[in-house]
């Protein structure tokens, strides 16, 4: 059995400000790193033009539930690179990157959905959007397949996002509130929904 990394667990929760005391202590030591307001909604994140928005993203892996998967997200030449390993040891099974909550929330009510430009590895990924500021809230999910070493455009219409909570579909959930988008996430997971 693989060794669970308690330090990474605390670091993840502190980054996303889930543990108030740890987040407060981290801000006191390192200084505050508040979420930036989203600029032009038609171009939420453009990683081809390094602008510092990469700092809004952080690794969020199954370490939060005792797993040992690990990932990273970094700016490279005219793109952002999401890398990592998914392990099913210790009942884990996902690696992801997620934004801190947008402050103020992004208003995408004038749009039909979100478009991603990705170069994949042939695996199936999930794009996740949230309209709630809570850490563990409904994940509005859109799964898509990638083609190894090929750039593709993924269109995730708001009307096709599947509301899920901890990888279980919520049949009676309201559609996403596109006028109140709080965070985005990209995930590689053994779980669908």
Residue after which a domain boundary falls, among 99, 124, 156: 99
Tokens 């929330």, located at residue? 105
189 and 170 assigned to the same domain: yes
Residue after which a domain boundary falls, among 66, 99, 132: 99
Identify whether 40 is part of a domain. no
136 and 181 assigned to the same domain: yes
Asked if residue 126 lies in contact with residue 189, where contact means CB atoms within 8 angstroms, the answer is: yes
**Cα within 13 Å of Cα(27), Cβ side:** 12
Burial 28-52 (b: 16+ CB within 10 A, else e): eeeeeeebeebeeeeebbebeeeee
Domain extent for 2: 1-33+56-99
Longest CA–CA separation in the chain, Å: 49
95 and 122 assigned to the same domain: no
170 and 81 assigned to the same domain: no
Identify whether 44 is part of a domain. no
pTM: 0.82
Structurally, the chain folds into a number of domains equal to 2
Kindly give the confidence (pLDDT) of every residue in the chain, 193 residues in length, as a single tens digit, with 9 standing for 90 and above: 677 777 777 777 767 666 654 444 445 455 544 444 455 556 788 888 777 788 889 999 988 888 999 999 999 988 999 999 999 998 889 999 999 999 899 999 999 999 999 999 999 999 999 999 988 899 999 999 999 999 999 999 999 999 999 889 999 999 999 999 999 999 999 888 7
Tokens 């510092």, located at residue? 52
């Amino acid at each position: 059995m693989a060794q669970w990394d308690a330090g990474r667990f605390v670091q993840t929760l502190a980054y996303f400000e889930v543990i108030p005391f740890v987040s407060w202590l981290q801000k006191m030591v390192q200084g505050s790193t508040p979420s930036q307001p989203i600029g032009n909604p038609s171009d939420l994140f453009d990683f081809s033009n390094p602008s510092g928005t990469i700092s809004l993203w952080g690794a969020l892996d199954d370490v939060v539930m005792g797993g040992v998967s690990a990932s990273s997200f970094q700016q490279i030449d005219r793109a952002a690179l999401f890398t990592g390993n998914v392990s099913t040891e210790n009942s884990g099974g996902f690696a992801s990157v997620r934004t801190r909550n947008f402050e103020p929330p992004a208003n995408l009510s004038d749009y039909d959905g979100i478009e991603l430009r990705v170069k994949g590895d042939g695996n199936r990924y999930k794009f996740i959007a949230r309209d709630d500021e809570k850490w563990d809230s409904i994940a509005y999910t859109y799964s898509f397949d990638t083609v190894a070493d090929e750039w593709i455009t993924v269109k995730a219409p708001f009307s096709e996002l599947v509301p899920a909570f901890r990888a279980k579909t919520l049949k009676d959930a309201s559609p996403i509130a596109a006028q109140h988008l709080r965070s985005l996430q990209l995930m590689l997971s053994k779980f669908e929904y």
